Structure 1
Amino acid sequence: MNEFPRGGVATHPFAEVNLAFRANFATGAEVGAAVCVYHRGRPVVDLWGGYADADRGDPWRADTLGVLASPTKSLVTGAALLLVDRGVLDLDAPIAEHWPEFAANGKGGITLRMVLSQRSGVVCLDHDPITNDKLRAHEPIVAALESARPEWEPDTAHGYHATTYGHLISELIRRCTGLTVGQFFAKEIANPLGLDCYIGLPTPDTAHLATMIECKAEELMAGADPGEIEELRDAATLTYRATMASMSQDPADPTVEEPSYGGLASAQSLARYFASFIGEVDCFRLTSPEITEQMRVVHSTGDCLVMLSPCTWGLGVQVSDSPVFPASAGLGTAFGFSGANGVFAFADPANDLAFAYIPNAGSEVMGSMDARIRRLIEATYRSIQKVR
């Protein structure tokens, strides 16, 4: 029997989010999960429940950390944009100005803006795939990026940088600061905000980690029948080469920096992080209003050359409208990131709102919004209407 949520609070008038959270458990869709909502820089919903393990023996706690998967890239985005705000990085300068070796094989004109908007074309590492050993060493992945070729003329199209995004930006940050993105994020963002949010977990023995239950995407990675998604069985396609053929098949190691999909966070910390994009959170604001406004501007839209489905990208984040980030759920003025494992986070400056949801029962759908997420988001926006 599924356990109803066991902890937390949803303040008035956000009680409807609590009802939606409970409904997710009542339908049998959850094993364990947490959801947190910030409004006007303060938490108004902070709920958790169920179990952190598939055997339902380890209760989910307020401090439980879940694997972020693709929303890890939103942490990387914040680190890069913080350096843009500080004048250390320029969105439109060639990356090769800081990292000369990156210019090889037609990459000399690629800019940070192109990477943030999924337009660089550098999406495949199938010539030298990521492994845990390479992640620990860091330099082999840098060398693989240097030898990579764009899969299309940079800035002429867009395709999801599923495996390369975090590593491209991490090395750019390292060239400018001496710190990898995980180290920079910990020092300059997580520490001042007081976040339980990591790209590479320094103290795994004292952290409470949720055991993530395979989502549809992970099942495909393990060899499940892809059904109608023929590209995920054809090694010659860009979809396969940029995903399955490029990323590690090793068991995840939480201590290793995997800046494209290996981040860890509690829902409370992830919501707090997104809140810092749109206003001060305990006197800390991550990005200036000018940079935040640029994040919301559509940089890429239409069918993704890698995932072959519609997506709309702002600057390092998803924006509406697409099946995974739909305006119909209320997200018309929001920006954020969705994960194939069900993790979802966003900020909405028009409503002074930030939201994070972390489950351990992976999503059963690919290319559209999970019903659990939609239920929670719609309840959040209905609640906002009562505040006005």
Structure 2
Amino acid sequence: MSGLKSLTVLVVVVAILVYLYKTFIQKPLPVLFDGRFHPDFQEVADIYKENLRNGEEVGSSFAAHYEGEPLVDIWGGYADVDTRRPWTKDTLSIIFSATKGVTAILAALFVDRGWLDYSKPVAHYWPKFGQNGKDNITVALLLSHQGGLSITNGTIPMEWINEKPEKVWEFLEKQKPYWPPGTGYSYHGITFGLFVDALLTKADPKHRRVDKIFKEEIGDKFGIELYNGIPNSLFHRVARHESHPLHVSLWKMISNLDTDALTMMYALASSNSVLAKMGASGTDKLPSDLSLNTPEYNKIPQSSYNGHSNARNLAKLYGIIANGGKTKEGVLLTEKTIEMLKQPLTSGTSLDGVINVNFGYGVGVIKDEKGNAVFGHDGAGGQTAFADTARKSGFGYVTARLKNMSVKRDKQFQQYLAAYYRCLEKYLQKRQKT
């Protein structure tokens, strides 16, 4: 035990020394910034540019829409640090679990169309799903991570999603709940997309795959560029993702006293923990693999984590919903369904003992300082997209440098969000006077 403690201290000391060297001695990259914003939101842009200068931002985009109109759309840094490829207006990025929120919006659209009912069993739409104790799992339980299906018996090749969907369905149909459905929740980090994608295909009158459903029902109609699995022809626009070096991650956990991140790291490293088993479930290739930055991996539609977009398009999507769901192109979601998305279905600490998130119908639901519900989904490393219906605002934030492993929102995004709300208050006051 004493040897382990000594090794831990040594790792921490080395992490601090390397961090200080990288921060204060190594020559920083030139600052790149671009975009547009309403003059009243200059503060947001200034904070963003400062984070580019101090190295907190390496390559990212941030956007905010109010009443369906873009007030902030900025980006900066590098889409690929090694080659110095700049982040541009058209750069796309993998959004990890923020993809789950987009898929929840698709499910809500199905509810509006009468193709899906949250209260009905999944087996109503997918009869073979009902075997092995899954017959009473409702659509709501599945979407809110209460189905007990975060852990699978074995894994399947990722390529089957594209090449052998029937094999994927057979694999999922044979699974047994890890806990009695409805008795608690635990994050279905990998399996959410496998099960929900299959459900949407089964419930869709045309039985389309999830990427085609989004393109035809939302993307093309409302002008939102988002891909669940990106075509090889567009891979050249995708930012190269990289995790924070270990020394940076450790430094941030220590300096921010981020006990959540430390607890999660410990849980993932414990082979018998629910989180560790979840992370090794579903498919054989996971987001942490080296295959992450390859066209072969990125083209596969998996709604748990393989969506590709940028802040502008995410803010537009959630901005439409935050503004009541109606546009000149048509109705994305009805107000009734939007109200349902604001309802939390879980509370308290999850069965894995680490995550504490209020999940609704496929989205995370939190209350702001005034008690208003906002909803959407975060993703690994800092990705964020959500709707604030009380303030008619939609937000998107996407970063190529994966900056955290905590369930807390990214620190830089929180800075932009706070500045946006300050600016919005002044902006609305000025509008009232004119």
Residues 229 and 300, structure 2, Cα contact 8 Å, conserved in 1: yes
- Work out which of the residue numbers 185, 189, 194 in structure 2 matches 1:167: 194
The match for 1:272 among 309, 316, 336 is 316
Residues 7-46 of structure 1 correspond to what in structure 2 (within 5 A)? 7-46=34-73
Q: Does 1:259 align with 2:303?
A: yes
1:290 is matched with: 336
Does 1:98 pair with 2:125? Answer: yes
More displaced 10-residue stretch of structure 1: 69-78 or 7-16? 7-16
Q: Structure 1 pair 315/215, CA: closer, same or farther in 2 (3 Å)?
A: farther
| SS class of match (2:159) | helix
Contact 2:33 2:77 in 1 (8 A): yes
- Gaps spanning 5+ residues in structure 1: where? 221-225, 322-326
1:123 corresponds to which letter in structure 2? S
Q: How does 1:198-237 map to 2 (within 5 A)?
A: 198-205=227-234, 207-215=236-244, 228=263, 229-237=265-273
- TM superposition shift of 1:56: 5.2
| Deviation for aligned residue 1:211 | 0.4
Provide the secondary structure at the position in 1 that maps to 2:114. coil
Larger radius of gyration: 2
Answer yes or no: is 1:155 the counterpart of 2:182: yes
Measured after TM superposition, the shift of residue 245 of structure 1 is 4.0
2:417 maps to amino acid: I
The separation in 1 between residues aligned to 2:44 and 2:273, in whole angstroms, is: 41
Aligned length: 375
Give SS of 1:74's match: helix
Distance between the aligned counterparts of 1:25 and 1:283, measured in 2? 37
Distance, in Å, in 1 between the alignment partners of 2:110 and 2:186 is: 24
Contact 1:254–1:262 (8 Å) recurs in 2: yes
1:360 paired residue number: 400
Q: CA deviation at 1:140?
A: 2.6
Letter of the 2:309 counterpart: A
Match of 1:133 among 155, 159, 168: 159
Over 3 Å counting, the alpha-carbon distance change for 1:319 and 1:215 in structure 2 is farther
CA distance 1:216–1:138, change in 2 (3 Å) = farther
Query: Post-superposition shift, 1:339?
Result: 1.2
Task: Measure, in 2, the Cα distance between the counterparts of 1:319 and 1:39.
Answer: 20
Q: Cα 1:66–1:117, aligned 2, differ >3 Å: closer, same or farther?
A: same
Structure 2 spans left out of the alignment, 5+ residues: 1-27, 250-260, 429-434
Aligned-pair identity (%):
28
1:375 equivalent in structure 2 = 415
Q: CA deviation at 1:331?
A: 8.8
Per-residue CA distance 1:71-95 (angstroms, 9 max, x = gap) = 0111111111101001111110111
Tell whether the 8 Å contact from 2:222 to 2:329 is kept in structure 1 after alignment.
Answer: no
How much does 1:304 deviate? 1.8
Match of 2:96 in 1: 69
Deviation at 1:289, TM superposition (A): 0.5
Shift of 1:255: 1.3
Q: Which residue of 1 aligns with 2:6?
A: none
The normalised TM-score by structure 2 is 0.81
For the residues of structure 2 that align with 1:75 and 1:331, how far apart are their CA atoms?
24
Cα distance in 1 for partners of 2:407, 2:66 equals 28
Q: TM-score, normalising length from structure 1?
A: 0.90
| Structure with greater proportional helix content | 2
CA drift at 1:347? 0.7
The DSSP-based 3-state class of the residue aligned with 1:320 is: strand
Match in the other structure for 1:243: 279
